[in-house]
Amino acid sequence: MTTPNISAQLFFLYDSHCPWSYVATKLVNEIHNVFPQITLNLWHTAFFDGKTNDSSRRKVNEIKEVERLANIQFSQNYQQLLLESKNSILSANLMTWAQNKTPDLVLPLLNALQEAHFEQGNQLTSATDFDTIISTLKLSPPAKVFKHDKLSKDAMIQLEEIFALQEIINTQAIPALLLAVEDQLILLNHNFYLSEPKAIIEAVQLELNKYT
């Protein structure tokens, strides 16, 4: 696989605490591994603010559907959190800071956050919940990132950019995976590739080939 000499970016609209985003991140990993020249824009939507009150039945049904389509099984640690209201505000602040300050580490950071939440059952709702991840990746985020239940100024600015992009693609659904090539924006249907993430590489290559 090759990347033509063109300007290409990948936009991933997600929430770190969203199970659909968790499995879609595997597609982002595959694309980045094969096409490292494509600029990554990982935009956290801060969808989960602790106010969502979905029934336990609905939450269970949702993760069962994710497991079916992505051919995975969620950990018991994560499933024990299903009755808790999800709050991803601190993760949104941290990811937005990383996107702006250390873009080379933003994808490893997202993977680490999702591993902590979906595999280890870490709620990621207090500053200390992030200590191990920050230490491992050698990050130095400012204290304002961890102001409880309050989006940072940078996160709010990014949300405005997300809203503008969602108007263009005419959907607020997350996750959303978009490939921007030159002045074209292509919405990639991530649902086609959840059970076989590597298959998305051919789809991306076909789009890039149109501009060679």
Whether the CB-CB separation of 17 and 117 falls below 8 Å is answered with yes
Q: How many distinct structural domains can be found in the chain?
A: 1
Instruction: Collect all residues with Cβ–Cβ distance below 8 Å to 53 and sequence separation of at least 6.
Output: 85
Q: Where does the pLDDT of residue 5 fall: very low under 50, low under 70, confident under 90, or very high at 90 and above?
A: low
3 part of a folded domain: no
Res 154: pLDDT: 95
2 part of a folded domain: no
Task: Show the domain range for 178.
Answer: 8-209
C-beta neighbour count of 181 within 10 angstroms: 18
20 part of a folded domain: yes
CATH number at residue 181: 3.40.30.10
Nearest in space to 46 (alpha carbons), one of 20, 14, 23: 14
Q: Where does the pLDDT of residue 53 fall: very low under 50, low under 70, confident under 90, or very high at 90 and above?
A: low
Res 77: pLDDT: 95
170 part of a folded domain: yes
125 part of a folded domain: yes
Q: pLDDT: is 7 or 78 the higher one?
A: 78
Instruction: Collect all residues with Cβ–Cβ distance below 8 Å to 43 and sequence separation of at least 6.
Output: 11, 12, 13, 14, 99, 158, 161, 162, 165
| β 39-44/8-14 pair status | parallel
What does the chain come to in residues? 212
Both structure tokens of 92: 């949104």
**To the nearest whole number, what is the mean pLDDT of the chain?**
93
1 part of a folded domain: no
91 part of a folded domain: yes
Residue 54 pLDDT greater than 80, yes or no: no
pLDDT in tens, 87-135: 999 999 999 999 999 999 999 999 999 999 999 999 999 999 999 999 9
